[in-house]
Amino acid sequence: MAPALSDILRLTSSLLVLLLLMFCMGAINLEAQVRRLAPDEVGALLEVATQLGKKGWNRNMELCNDTKLPPKPDADNKVVCNCSFPGEACHVVAIYLKRQDLDGTLPKAIEKLPHLKQLDLWANYLSGKIPPEWANTKLEYLSIGVNN
Ligand SMILES: *[C@@H]1O[C@H](CO)[C@@H](O)[C@H](O)[C@H]1NC(C)=O
Ligand SMILES: *[C@@H]1O[C@H](CO)[C@@H](O)[C@H](O)[C@H]1NC(C)=O
């Protein structure tokens, strides 16, 4: 007996759903891989946080908030990463921590973020001199006004 048309349709549609599901899972996986921050920059970012007195970041969280530069001018409490380096991990390109009540020091560890271009620490309680290590960075934009 030939299979009924409705059976064939049902089989085809469940195959399609399965394919769609596999595609979605693959895509999600791919995105997770593409967006992963380079491991040594995770360490560097946590070191920066310690020096700044910034609480709440840890190794197990997704530290990149955004992948677009520049974000809104009032960007705050944001780490921007660039994930467009072909075949590579994401790299930190900007840190915005305005008005975060940070009471640490100007973080010398940013020299360990080789792709960092923008650093905004406006209006905190940070102290210390500009670390000589900052001369080794690729910083193009720096805002450290209204601090101690
Ligand atoms: C950015 O990510 C950090 C860590 O996940 C989080 O604490 C913070 O609230 C995020 N900021 C924004 C503006 O999404
Ligand atoms: C991200 O990196 C790519 C490759 O180096 C570069 O072409 C692009 O302009 C960068 N984008 C941002 C937002 O920095």
Is the per-residue pLDDT at 134 higher than 50? yes
The residue whose CB lies within 8 Å of the most ligand 2 atoms, and thus the one to mutate among 84, 91, 117, 141, is 84
Read off the pTM: 0.78
Beta carbon of 77 within 6 Å of any ligand 1 atom: yes
Q: What is the mean pLDDT of the chain?
A: 86
Strand order in the sheet with 91-96: 78-82, 91-96, 118-120, 141-143
Q: Is residue 88 part of a domain?
A: yes
Residue with more model confidence, 2 or 38: 38
Is the per-residue pLDDT at 106 higher than 70? yes
Query: Hunting for tokens 């790299």 — which residue is that?
Result: 91
Mean pLDDT of 9-36: 61
Q: Let me know whether 23 and 46 are in one domain.
A: no
Is the per-residue pLDDT at 31 higher than 60? no
Q: Let me know whether 84 and 44 are in one domain.
A: yes
The residue whose CB lies within 8 Å of the most ligand 2 atoms, and thus the one to mutate among 67, 80, 82, is 82
Instruction: Indicate which atom in ligand 2 lies nearest the CA of residue 83.
Output: 1
Q: Is residue 51 part of a domain?
A: yes
Q: Let me know whether 20 and 52 are in one domain.
A: no
CA distance 98 to 126: 11
Collapse the DSSP code of 54 into the 3-class scheme (helix H, G, I; strand E, B; otherwise coil) and give the result.
coil
Residue 8 zone, left/alpha/beta (φ > 0; ψ -120 to 50; rest): alpha
Q: Decide if 96 contacts 66 (C-beta within 8 A).
A: no
Range of the domain at 4: 1-34
Q: Let me know whether 84 and 21 are in one domain.
A: no
* pLDDT digits 0-9 by tens, 51-66: 999 999 999 999 999 9
Write down the pLDDT at residue 73. 73
Write down the pLDDT at residue 6. 73
Q: Let me know whether 106 and 46 are in one domain.
A: yes
